[in-house]
Structure 1
Amino acid sequence: MNQQLQDVRRLEAEFADAMNRMYAVGNGLARMRASLEIGEVAVAPAAPAPAPASVAVPRPTAAPVGAPIQAPRPTPAPPVLPAPVALPSWWQREGAVTRVLAVAGAIVTLVGIAMLLALAMQQGWFVPELRVALGVLLAVALVAAGHVVRGRETSRGRSSAAPVALAATGYAAGYLDVVAVTTVYGWLPQVAGLVLAGAVAVTGLLLARRWNSQLLAVLTVLGATVLAPVVTEKFGDEVSLFVVILSAAALLARGDRGWPMLAVARTMPATSLILLGIAANDGDGAPSKVAIGAAAALTALALVGAVSAGRHNRADLIGSATLAAATISLLVAFGVHGDTLRTTGFALIAVAFAVALAVTSRSPIGPVPTPLATTIGAISGVSALLAVMSGAPERWVVTGILVTALGYAAAAVTTRSRVTLWVAAGTAVVASVAYLTHPTAYVELGMARDHDATTALLDSLLAGGIAALGAWGVDVVRGIPARVRRLTRIAALIAGLATSAVAVISIGLLVGEALDATSAGFLAGHALATVMWMLTSAWLLLRGLQAEAHRALSLRLGLGLAAVSVAKLFLFDLATLDGLWRVVAFIVTGLLLLASGTAYAKALDRTRPPVAAA
C-alpha cells in the first residue's frame, strides 16, 4: 500500500514538472511571435488587402513582451467509437462449461443411481427396506451436498450450476424412492404415493425460491409430473388432480414473474396428462366430472400466472401460450360429455373469459399486455360459438352465431376496447360465413321455396345490426387507422345492401306464401331489391355533393352501386324475372337513373360559386 502511494506521488510530481516546462516553452514562443509581428508592422509598406466581407479572418492579438501567457485550453477530442467486439463462442462464455458439465453430471449420476437400484433388486442385495433407506439417504446426501457447495460459492462470491445439479439429482433420487415404495414394492397406496411425491416437490420448489433458481424449480416440477403416471401405473383422475395441485404449488413458489420456463413446465405437461386421462376414461364410457374440475382449476391457475407474468413483463408471450393450452383441456373435458353439459360448459367458459377480459383490461388488475388480452377475448369468442353450434337447434344455429357476434359488437361499442373489437370482428367473420346460406338460397326459385324465409328475415336484421355496430365501433375505438375506418364503412355499406336485399326477398316470399303466390313474391322481392339499390345509389350521389369531407368516397360508392344495380338488372333480373315484374324493374330503375342524373346536375350547379357579372 505504501509503495503504491509513493508511486502516485512520484507520478504527480513528474506531471507537474512537465506542465511547468510546457508553460515555459509556450511563453518563449509568445515572446518570439510578438517580436516578429512588431518587426513586420515596421517594415511592411502597405496594409494587406482586406478579406472579403463574407469571410471573417481573425487578427491575432500580440501579447506584451515578457508577459506570461496561460496554457491554451485543450480542445475535447472527438469521441472514439469502440470497435465492435466479437461475441465469444458458447464455451468461452462465463459459466457455460460449468453449466453443461453440471447438467451432464446430474443426468449421468441419476442414470447410475437407477442402474444401481435395478442391479440391487436383480442380485438380491440387501433387503428391500434397506435398499429404500439407502436411496433416501443418498437423496438427502445429494441435496445436502448442494447446500454445502452453494454456501462455499456464496462465501467466495461465485455462482455456478453445480449446486442446482446436485439438488436436482437428489430430488430425482427421492422420486425414484417414491416409485419403489408404491409401484415396485406396493408398501403405499397410489394416493399416498402421490401425496409423498407432492411433498418432495414442494420442498424442491421452496428451495428453488430460496436460491432463486428457475432451473431447480423446472427440474423439480417436471420430475414430479413425469413420476405421477408411473406411480399410479395409469392415466386418470388421480394423476389429473396431482398435476393440478403441483401446478398450484409451483405458482405459489414464484407466481410466474420472471420464470417463463417454470410456467411452461407446470402447465404444458399437466395439460397433456389431463388430456390423456380424458382419452383413457373415454374408452370405458363418459369421463368423470373430476377431469372437468381438474381442467378448470388448471385453466384458472394458468390465467392467474399469465396475468402475474404480464404485469411483470409487458412483452411476455409465454403466459398467452400456456393459457391457450390449458383452455384446450377444459374445452375437451366439456366436449366429450352430453349435449346439455357440453353446451352449458362452453357457455360458462365464454362468460367467464368475457368477465376476465373486462376485469383485466383496467386497473387495479390491468391493463394486461395486448397478446394476453387478445387470447382471453379469443377464448371467450370461440367458446361462445362452440356453445351455439353444439346446443342450438339446427334451424337456429345461424341465428345463434349472429346473436353472439352482435353481442360482442355491442360490447365493443360500449367498452370502446380494441381487443373486444377484434373479438367482435372475428365472430363477425364466422357469422358472415354462416349467413351466406341465405343469399345463396335465393338465387333460384326452387331453392327459395324450400328455404326458411322466417329465419332468413330474422338473420338479415341481425346481420345488418352487426354491420352497423361494427362501423360504429371502429369509429369510437381509439387507435384505429383512418384507412381501416374507411374500409370498414365500405364493408358495412356492402353488408347492409346485401342483408337488406335478402330481407326484402324474404318478405316477398312470406307474403307470397300467405297469398299462395310464392313465385310472384320471389320475383317481386328481387325487383324491389334492385330498385332499393338504385335508390341508395342516388342518395349517395346527392350526399357526396353536400358532405365535403366524404365527397370522393360517396361519389365512388354511388357510381359503383349504380353499376352493380344495372349489372344485376341485365345479368340476373332479365333472366330470372318475367312478365310484369321484369317491366317494372327496368322502368323504375331507368327512371331512377334519369332522375339521379338530373338531381345530381342541379345539386352540382348549386354548389358552384356564382360567376360575377361582366
Structure 2
Amino acid sequence: MSPTAPDGSPASLLHRIHGEVADLTRRMSIVSGDVATLESLLAESAPAPADAPTPTPTAAQPMSSPQQPAAPNPTSPPAPPFVAPPAAAPHAAFAAPPFVAPPLAAAPFAGAPFVAAPFAAPPAPPFVTAPAGPPPFPPGGRPYPVGLPPAPRPYTPPPPRPSMSERIAAATERGLVGTVLAIAGVAVTLTGVVFLLVLAAQAGLLRPEIRVAGGALLAAILFGAGLLLGRRDGKRTAAGAVIATGVTTALFDVLAATAIYHWFPGYVAVIVAAVIAAGGLAVAHAWNSQALGLMVGVALIVFSPFLSGGPNILLVGFLLAYSAATMWIQLRRNWTALYAVNTVAVALPLIAVALTAPAGDGALFVVAALVNVLLALGSSVVLMRWSTRALLLALFSVVPLLPLLAATGIVGAVVATVALSAVTLLLASLAVGGGQLHPSITVACRTVWLTASAATAAAALGSSLHGTGVIVGIAGVGLVVAVASCFGASLDAPIALTLRIIGLLFTGAAILATLPSGALQMLFVSSIGIADQAMLLAAAVLSLVAAGVLVWSWSQGRAATDQQIFAILGGLITLFLVTEICVFLGGLISGGSTGGIRGGHAAATIVWVLAAAAGLLWARRLHGNARGMTITVSLAVIAAAIAKLFLFDLAALDGVFRVIAFIVVGLLLLSLGAAYAQSLGSPDNRGVGPQTHGPQMHGPQAQTPQPRSPQTW
C-alpha cells in the first residue's frame, strides 16, 4: 500500500485510492494462479476414455509426470513459476485436499512451496498542490468531487416586494395600524378639549361652569369606557389610549379651573392633580402598559402650557405633582422611557422660568428646582433595581440640574451658591458611596453623578466669586479633588480615574486663568494691584500643591518609566508655578514696587538652577533610560535658566539683583561641574574604559557588576 500524503486534500485521497486498487490487483493475480493450478490438477485426475491408449511409462519419463509446458510465447507476459506437487499413485482416484485460504506469498498446498509472481504497482502520480480555485470544502462541509469543479448554485430570484396594500394589511395584523389610530385619536381629542377650555373662554362661548363640567364628564366617560374595553386582553391597546385621554382631560380640567377661571388656589390644584394622576395611572401599572403613561406625559408636555398661560411656577408645581404621584407605578417595572418623559416634563418649564426670570418667584423657583433634583435622583436610585438601562436613568437624573445653573439671575448669588453647593455634595456622596446602596447602581452611573458634581461646583464658584477670586476657588476645588483621588485604593478604579481627570481639569484651568489675569504682566515687570497679586499668589500656591498631589496620584501603580515621565512633567509645571510665586511674593513684600518684582525674577532664576542641580544629583542614583532622561531634562532647565539670565534678567534687572543672580547662578554651575567631575573619576566609573593598572580579568568575573558604594557622593 503506497503511502499517502498527510493532509486531506483531494490529491492525497486519489493517491490512496490508487494504492488500494494496486493492492487488490495483486491479490486477484494470486487467486487467479491458484485457480489455474487447481484446474490442471483436476484435469489430470479425471479417468481417461476406454479407447484412449494408455501411455507406457519409461525410465526416462514417469507415468504420473505432468505434461511439459509449451515454449513460452515471446509476446505473451511471463507466467508465474510453478512447482509440481508430489506424484499420485497410478490409476488411483485423486482426492483433492481441503482448500485453505493461503496467506499472501504463501504456498497453496502444504509441502509444496508456491512462489508468487512479483507484482510491481504502477507508479503513483506525483503529489501536486491543488491549484487556486474554489475551496476544497464548501460551506455545507462535504468535499467537492475529485477533479470536478463545484456545481454552480441555481439562481434564486428575490421574492417580490409586497405592495402598499399588502404591507398595510400585515401591519393591521400586527396591531400597528390600531396603535397609530389610537394615538391620533388621543391627539385630536385632547386638542378639542383644549379648544373647549381655552378658545371657548376667549370667544365667550358657553358658561365657565359648563366648560369645566363638560370636561369632567368627558373625562369620566372616557375613563369608564376604557375600563370596559380593557376587560379583553386583545383590546388593551385601544383601551389604554381611551383611558390616557380621560386622565389627561381630567388634569387639563383642573389646570384650566385654576389658571384660567381662578376657582382654586395653586396648592389645591397641585394636590388634586396628584390624586388624579396616581389613581388614573394605576391602570397602567395593573396592565403593565408603559404606553398609557407615555401618552399622558407627552400630552402634558405639549398642551399644558396653553392652559397655564405659558411656563410659570403654577405649571411647574402642577407637573412636579404629576411626576411625583406617578413614580409608584414604575416600581418593579423596566420603564426607562416613562421616567425620562416625566423628568423632562418638569425640567423644561423650569428652564423656561429660569430664562425668563419672573419677578417674585425666586423662592418658589429654588424650592421647586431642588425638589425636582431630589425627586429625579431618588427615583433613579430606586428604579435602578429593576431597570436594564441604569446608565440612561443616571443620565436623565442630571437633567434637572440645568435650571439650577441659571438660578443666580432669579434668586441672587448667595442662595444660588448655597443650592448649588448642596447639590454638589449630594452628587459627590452618591458617586462615592452609591455602590453600597444597591449593586444595580453601577460604576458608570456613579461616574455620571461625579462629573455632574464637578459642573455644579464650577457653577457655584462662578455665582459666588468674581475676577481673580474665581481662579482661587477653581484652584481650591482642584486641590480638594486631587487629594480625594489619592484614596483610589478604597474607591473603584473608574471613580478614582474620574477624580484625577477632574482634578487635572480644575488645576489646569486655574493655571491657565492666571495668565490673562495678571501673571503675564508680572512676568514682564508690570505692576498690578495688591489684591490681585495676593489672589494670584494664593491660586499659584494651591495649584502647586495640587500639581504635586496629582503627579503622585497618577504615578501610583505604574511602571518606573511612566513614573519618571510624570515626575518630569510635574517638575516643569512646578518650575513655572514657582516662578509665579517668586514674582508675586516679591511684589507683595515690596508693596507692589518694580524692585520687588525684579527681585522675584532673580530668585526664580536661582530656583531654576537649584532644581536642575537637584535633578542632576538625583540622576546619579538612577540607571538606564531614567538616568538619561533626568540628565537631559536637567540640562535643558539649566540651558533655559542661562538663556533667561542673559536675555531677560540682564535687561530687566538692575543693581544688586542683577549681580546676585549672576554670581549665585555662576557658583551653582561651578559646584555642579566639580561634583560631576568627581563622579567621573570616582572608583565606580574607573572600570568603564580600558584598564591601565592592575591585572586584566577575563571570563564571567569581568562581566559581574560591582555594587555601588553608598559614600560615592
Instruction: Check whether TM > 0.5.
Output: yes
Structure 1 distance, partners of 2:519, 2:445, is 37
Q: Match of 1:78?
A: 141
- SS class of match (1:445): coil
- SS class of match (1:442): helix
Residue 598 (structure 2) pairs with residue 523 (structure 1):
yes
Task: State the identity as a percent.
Answer: 28
Q: Which amino acid aligns with 2:319?
A: V
Q: Match of 1:547?
A: 622
Q: Match of 1:413?
A: 486
Q: Match of 1:536?
A: 611
2:541 to 442, 461, 477: 461
Q: How far 1:298 sits from its partner (Å)?
A: 0.4
Q: How far 1:322 sits from its partner (Å)?
A: 2.7
**CA 1:347–1:519 in 2, change beyond 3 Å: closer, same or farther?**
same
Aligned 8 A contact 1:204 1:220 in 2: no
2:519 to 439, 444, 447: 439
Q: How far 1:329 sits from its partner (Å)?
A: 1.8
Structure 2 distance, partners of 1:134, 1:337, is 41
Note the alpha carbon deviations across 1:322-378, whole angstroms, 9 max, x for none: 333211223433552234333333333333332232221x32346844553333223
Note the alpha carbon deviations across 1:96-147, whole angstroms, 9 max, x for none: 4443233223333444566688999999999876776665454344334444
Aligned 8 A contact 1:271 1:329 in 2: yes
Note the alpha carbon deviations across 1:361-411, whole angstroms, 9 max, x for none: x32346844553333223333333444444357664433332222112111
**CA 1:186–1:381 in 2, change beyond 3 Å: closer, same or farther?**
closer
Q: How far 1:300 sits from its partner (Å)?
A: 0.9
Q: Match of 2:348?
A: 272
**CA 1:50–1:306 in 2, change beyond 3 Å: closer, same or farther?**
farther
**CA 1:124–1:506 in 2, change beyond 3 Å: closer, same or farther?**
closer
* Normalised TM-score (structure 2): 0.65
Q: Match of 1:502?
A: 580
Q: Match of 1:107?
A: 187
Q: Match of 2:336?
A: 260
Q: How far 1:577 sits from its partner (Å)?
A: 1.9
Aligned 8 A contact 1:257 1:308 in 2: no
Residue 418 (structure 2) pairs with residue 344 (structure 1):
yes
Aligned 8 A contact 1:295 1:330 in 2: yes
**CA 1:180–1:430 in 2, change beyond 3 Å: closer, same or farther?**
closer
Structure 2 distance, partners of 1:305, 1:87, is 47
Structure 2 distance, partners of 1:505, 1:200, is 68
**Equivalences for residues 80-159 of structure 1 within 5 A:** 94-111=174-191, 135-152=215-232, 154=233
Structure 2 distance, partners of 1:372, 1:547, is 43
Q: How far 1:570 sits from its partner (Å)?
A: 3.1
Aligned 8 A contact 2:548 2:570 in 1: yes
**CA 1:167–1:446 in 2, change beyond 3 Å: closer, same or farther?**
same
Aligned 8 A contact 2:229 2:235 in 1: no
Query: Which shows bigger deviation, 181-190 or 166-175?
Result: 181-190
**CA 1:446–1:278 in 2, change beyond 3 Å: closer, same or farther?**
closer
Aligned 8 A contact 1:172 1:223 in 2: yes
Aligned 8 A contact 1:544 1:555 in 2: yes
Long gaps (5+) in structure 1: 1-31, 56-75
1:376 to 449, 452, 457: 449
1:302 to 362, 376, 386: 376
**Equivalences for residues 299-378 of structure 1 within 5 A:** 299-308=373-382, 316-333=390-407, 335-360=409-434, 362-365=435-438, 368-378=441-451
Aligned 8 A contact 2:270 2:321 in 1: no
Q: Which amino acid aligns with 2:410?
A: V
Query: Which shows bigger deviation, 241-250 or 597-606?
Result: 597-606
- SS class of match (1:468): helix
Q: Match of 1:39?
A: 28
Q: Which amino acid aligns with 2:572?
A: I
Note the alpha carbon deviations across 1:193-237, whole angstroms, 9 max, x for none: 444333332233322222222221122233345565555546544
Note the alpha carbon deviations across 1:41-99, whole angstroms, 9 max, x for none: 546623659999x99xxxxxxxxxxxxxxxxxxxx96399xx99999999767544443
**CA 1:239–1:133 in 2, change beyond 3 Å: closer, same or farther?**
closer
Q: How far 1:307 sits from its partner (Å)?
A: 3.2
Q: Match of 1:19?
A: none
Q: How far 1:467 sits from its partner (Å)?
A: 0.5
Note the alpha carbon deviations across 1:423-453, whole angstroms, 9 max, x for none: 3223223322333335323223332686755
**CA 1:367–1:499 in 2, change beyond 3 Å: closer, same or farther?**
farther
**CA 1:243–1:556 in 2, change beyond 3 Å: closer, same or farther?**
farther
Note the alpha carbon deviations across 1:152-210, whole angstroms, 9 max, x for none: 3x3xxx58743332322233333454456556666655544444333332233322222
- SS class of match (1:565): helix
1:474 to 538, 551, 554: 554
Residue 236 (structure 2) pairs with residue 247 (structure 1):
no
Q: Which amino acid aligns with 2:506?
A: T
Structure 2 distance, partners of 1:419, 1:79, is 55
Structure 1 distance, partners of 2:638, 2:142, is 68
Note the alpha carbon deviations across 1:455-477, whole angstroms, 9 max, x for none: 4444332221110111122234x
- SS class of match (1:325): coil
Long gaps (5+) in structure 2: 1-20, 33-116, 129-138, 144-155, 697-713
Structure 2 distance, partners of 1:126, 1:386, is 51
Q: Match of 2:277?
A: 201
- SS class of match (1:377): helix
Q: Match of 1:173?
A: 249
Aligned 8 A contact 2:257 2:263 in 1: yes
Structure 1 distance, partners of 2:654, 2:546, is 34
Q: Which amino acid aligns with 1:442?
A: M
Q: Which amino acid aligns with 1:324?
A: V
Aligned 8 A contact 2:366 2:411 in 1: no
Aligned 8 A contact 1:256 1:306 in 2: no
Q: Which amino acid aligns with 1:215?
A: A
Structure 2 distance, partners of 1:572, 1:380, is 44
* Normalised TM-score (structure 1): 0.74
Q: Give the paired residue count.
A: 549
- SS class of match (1:399): helix
